[in-house]
Structure 1
């Protein structure tokens, strides 16, 4: 059962978190193009699509920590420091996405028609980078598992 849970956890991470990180990273440059060409409906549609991908896959991404907790419980590693740090970083990444990235994406989409400023996209790019860095750190911790006795 542990191998099944681990496989589902990893697949959920790839399928859910991967698209969010890519779409969120593509959003700021796409938003800058949309702001630079307000009469180009295709540029605005692109950022709307990227935002929709971020929202939908963020919701699907809830499966990642759920299967992660089930896997960790099955493996008996819930109290390991690497897992606790990974869980804390996962919560931090979720907060960054929900509180800092998604609302700013919405602001840019609404402001594209009203002439939003470039500073918002720069700030959004920074928060997206923080989100991606948090996920990259979680990924490394999941692979390396420092101090783990599970054979890594």
Structure 2
């Protein structure tokens, strides 16, 4: 059962969080281009839809952690805090920033959105590193 939970967690991260990270990253540059309205709408839709699907990633991650008995481990607590921070950045800054640019925002708004998206992606990158480089890691990369 643990293998199934972990598999769904990892697949969810790849197939749901990945598209959010890519679409959100592409949006600011596309917003600076002329005549990119259709592209912006598609990127915004991908960000919103896959962000909703990505809710299952931490759900299965917590289920996996509970099954493994590691929910109280520092690396996992830090990962959950960073995941929450990434979700807040996405919901409070990135998606509203995309909406504002779709409504006709300016190039400085696109630059700001690029920075916010970079923070979102950096948070996820740190979470991935913590998931791999953790105590008792089976990859041999553990602490």
**Same fold (TM > 0.5):** yes
Q: Distance in 2 between matches of 1:24 and 1:144?
A: 26
Q: Distance in 2 between matches of 1:24 and 1:56?
A: 12
Q: Which residue of 2 aligns with 1:28?
A: 28
Q: CA deviation at 1:149?
A: 3.5
Q: CA deviation at 1:141?
A: 0.2
Equivalences for residues 51-70 of structure 1 within 5 A: 51-70=44-63
Q: Which residue of 2 aligns with 1:131?
A: 120
Q: CA deviation at 1:117?
A: 1.5
Q: Distance in 1 between matches of 2:129 and 2:83?
A: 12
| Cα RMSD, aligned residues only | 1.0
Q: Which residue of 2 aligns with 1:97?
A: 90
Q: Distance in 1 between matches of 2:91 and 2:85?
A: 10
Report the secondary structure of 1:73's partner residue. Answer: helix
Q: 1:25 to 1:150 in 2, by over 3 A?
A: closer
Q: Distance in 1 between matches of 2:23 and 2:106?
A: 21
Larger Rg: 1
Name the TM-score, length of structure 2 as normaliser: 0.94
Q: Which residue of 1 aligns with 2:68?
A: 75
Structure ranking higher on relative contact order (CA contacts 8 Å, 6+ apart): 1
Name the TM-score, length of structure 1 as normaliser: 0.89
Structure 2 segments unaligned to the other structure (5+ residues)? none
Which segments of structure 1 move beyond 3 Å, counting only runs of 4 or more? 149-152
The number of equivalent residue pairs is: 139
Q: Distance in 1 between matches of 2:29 and 2:12?
A: 27
Q: Distance in 1 between matches of 2:122 and 2:83?
A: 11
Q: Which residue of 2 aligns with 1:87?
A: 80
| 2:102 maps to which of 94, 106, 109 | 109
